[in-house]
Homo-oligomer: A and B are copies of this chain.
């Protein structure tokens, strides 16, 4: 590994000059520059980012703390985030919390140690204080833990409303809402939006809590078998919706003629599996873009025009609704 010294020696200049060339800062004679560039090329020199980081107290690394890697929603979000950060010449450190406070704490420490420039936080946790202690910029996705930490979330209330309106407008009279854990803000918001519309229209409905990561197919089946007269199902994830559809089919229900189903997320499978799933689409690309964008602003000490941003969701109508 060639160092800046090697380059300096080869180009017969000082390390300061080489540094100026690399960083395109300060004056440097164009002939000298050529020599240096030449030497850099010959030696295959790349500046050591660690040394740089040490001096500048910034690492060009940003961390993403996610609760899981294996659910499509998070994986795709991460993929978008990675795309953008690479473009901006930042690196990505993945931190998988497994929703485990212990692991989060472990990572929290690491962020300081590596001069992480910023953190994208997608956590179901509630250890707000620990995050506030961190003196690096944070952008939260999906949740809004506190007013102090800027956030990007989907407009979940709208999502709930859109689903409810669709089901009502197509004549549903008894609706099951298979939701996520109701202690999550996203879930409560969707429920609020959903119920607000249904109650105004006096349509019978109830919510059943499931785990997002491993929703129990048996539970779903049981709920459906004890409510065979339902004609609408709204699910807080497409994965849950897929399970619900299976249960409904098993119960001999025709979709969408007898029962309509709406999912949430718009994962890849929603458009592939049959029947194609009507779903509330979260714009993950936009979420990722705004998140990184905002994070960059904070890193550059600029202020955010919108501190808590809501990204609109959209109802994608496919074959599980009329």
Interface of A with B (CB < 8 Å)? 1, 46-51, 53-54, 59, 61, 68-70, 72, 75-76, 78-79, 82-83, 86, 91-96, 98, 103, 106-107, 109-110, 112-115, 135, 217, 242-243, 246, 249-250, 268-269, 272-274
List the B side residues contacting A86 at CB < 8 Å: 96, 103, 106-107
A82 to B269, CA, bound (A): 26
Contact of A113 among B48, B70, B113, B246 (CB under 8 A): B48
Q: Are B82 and A268 in contact (CB under 8 A)?
A: no
A94 to B272, CA, bound (A): 28
Known: A110-B91, A217-B272. A79 touches B70 (CB 8 A): yes
Smallest CB gap from A45: residue in B: B112
Q: Are A49 and B113 in contact (CB under 8 A)?
A: yes
List the B side residues contacting A268 at CB < 8 Å: 70
Contacts A/B (CB < 8 Å), 30 sampled: A46-B112, A46-B113, A47-B113, A48-B113, A49-B110, A49-B113, A50-B59, A51-B54, A61-B93, A68-B79, A69-B76, A75-B75, A78-B94, A79-B96, A82-B94, A82-B95, A86-B96, A86-B103, A86-B106, A86-B107, A91-B93, A92-B93, A93-B94, A217-B272, A243-B272, A246-B273, A246-B274, A249-B274, A250-B274, A273-B273
List the B side residues contacting A48 at CB < 8 Å: 54, 113, 115
Other A-B contacts than A61-B93, A78-B94, 16 sampled, CB-CB below 8 A, are A1-B112, A46-B112, A48-B113, A49-B110, A49-B113, A50-B53, A50-B54, A50-B59, A50-B113, A69-B75, A70-B72, A70-B75, A70-B79, A86-B96, A86-B103, A93-B93
A103 to B48, CA, bound (A): 20
A280 to B9, CA, bound (A): 58
Distance (Å) between the CB of A51 and the closest chain B CB? 5
